[in-house]
Amino acid sequence: MQFARLPRLRLAGLPTPLEEATRLERLFPGTRLFLKRDDLTHPALGGNKARKLEFLLADARRQGADVVLTVGGPQSNHARITAALSARLGWECILVLEGAEPPEAQGNLLIDRLLGADVRFAGARPAQEVMEEIAAGLEAQGRRPYAIPVGGSTPLGAVGYCLAMEEMLAQASDAGVVVHRVYVATGSGGTQAGLVLGARVLDPSLRVTGVSVSRSAEESRSRVAELATGAASLLGLPVRVEAARVEVLDGYVGPGYGVPTPGCLEAIRLLAREEGVLLDPVYTGKAMACLLDHLRRGVIGEGENVVFWHTGGAPALFAYSQELEV
């Protein structure tokens, strides 16, 4: 497939491995299970956002930016990776995190500070609004700020995941494996959007299931569709992705974003003990809880090959030591 070439900074360690989860497979005979290890994208403990930031930060450079801003929760993986890549590029990085400053800097927040990011808290105000205000102030001082919305989920960010789908399908094909299904955690939607678009143009029979960690299925589906259609237009693809053709499940969110469910905690322990792989309590634990549930209930058919897209997030484990106590 010919994609339009967009400016890209090669900042992630790609390709990431596609690994067969052979010990996990023994628990579910008849299904081959693979892990796409985007937890190993490299910058400061890795994760999915590095693929989006290769395009977003190239755009920032093209615009002559000298300071990068973004938003997220105190345990935002996106904020951590943005801070790491800004450090690598020698750019100032301002992170506007939601809510009040937690009493202890743990996990991602600890790493944000180590990376030299200027960390601020939005308090009761929406973080996006605070970020825009800071960016406007910087502009008034003659600086060139580049503000990235939550999760780096813009059409340009999603482009990184369309190419990731191409990468994974090439790896599977080299291994002689036909992939029938992909499972991925869905938050701000850019990751699934890129994967959905990639599947649509490269292998329309491949089913991409997004497991929401926060929003309703309906809201997620339309966000994903909109981002995928926007990414298609940037890539010069005459494709319109309809929300009705996007699959997002919202039955695994539990009490809310960032609150681990029993299924999530079980999934984290199972993958750690069976595969030596660390999931996280906010995203991948919930997505894996869905996959395990589908395997147990026979939602996944005999002979189907499944890729679980490991989007990273393990640094947040340290902020959840009480919930994870064994």
Ligand X SMILES: Cc1ncc(COP(=O)(O)O)c(C=O)c1O
Question: Any idea which residues carry the catalytic annotation?
Answer: 76
77 binds ligand X (CB under 6 A): yes
Measured CA to CA, the distance from residue 95 to residue 9 in angstroms comes to: 21
Kindly state the smallest distance separating residue 258's Cβ from ligand X, in Å.
11
The β-bridge partners of 67 are 92, 145
Contact pick of 74, 155, 198, 313 for ligand X (by CB under 6 A)? 313
185 binds ligand X (CB under 6 A): yes
Which residues are CB-neighbours of 196 under 8 A, at least 6 positions away? 208, 224, 225, 228, 241, 246
Contact pick of 43, 47, 155, 281 for ligand X (by CB under 6 A)? 47
Stretch that binds ligand X, among 17-25, 168-176, 190-198, 243-251 (CB under 6 A): 190-198
Range 81-140, binding ligand X (CB under 6 A):
none
Determine the angle formed by the axes of helices 284-296 and 262-275, rounding to 10 degrees: 90
78 binds ligand X (CB under 6 A): yes
Nearer to ligand X, 34 or 309 (CB): 309
The strands making up 118-121's β-sheet, listed across from edge to edge, are 118-121, 92-97, 67-72, 145-148
Kindly state the smallest distance separating residue 48's Cβ from ligand X, in Å.
5
Nearer to ligand X, 34 or 183 (CB): 183
Taking only Cα atoms into account, the Rg of the chain, rounded to an integer number of angstroms, comes to 19
Contact pick of 191, 209, 214, 229 for ligand X (by CB under 6 A)? 191
Closest CA to 39 of 232, 317, 319, 239: 317
* Furthest C-alpha separation in the chain: 62
The dihedral through the CA atoms of 167, 310, 172, 243 has a sign that is: negative
Other C-beta atoms closer than 10 Å to the C-beta of 137 total 11
Kindly state the smallest distance separating residue 224's Cβ from ligand X, in Å.
8
What amino acid is encoded at 117 in this protein? A
Stretch that binds ligand X, among 84-92, 170-178, 185-193, 317-325 (CB under 6 A): 185-193
Kindly state the smallest distance separating residue 295's Cβ from ligand X, in Å.
20
- How buried is 2 (Cβ within 10 angstroms: 0-12 exposed, 13-18 middle, 19+ buried)? exposed
55 binds ligand X (CB under 6 A): no
41 binds ligand X (CB under 6 A): no
Kindly state the smallest distance separating residue 148's Cβ from ligand X, in Å.
12
214 binds ligand X (CB under 6 A): no
Range 254-293, binding ligand X (CB under 6 A):
280, 283-284
Which residues lie near ligand X (CB under 6 A)? Answer: 47-48, 77-78, 151, 153, 185-192, 280, 283-284, 311-313
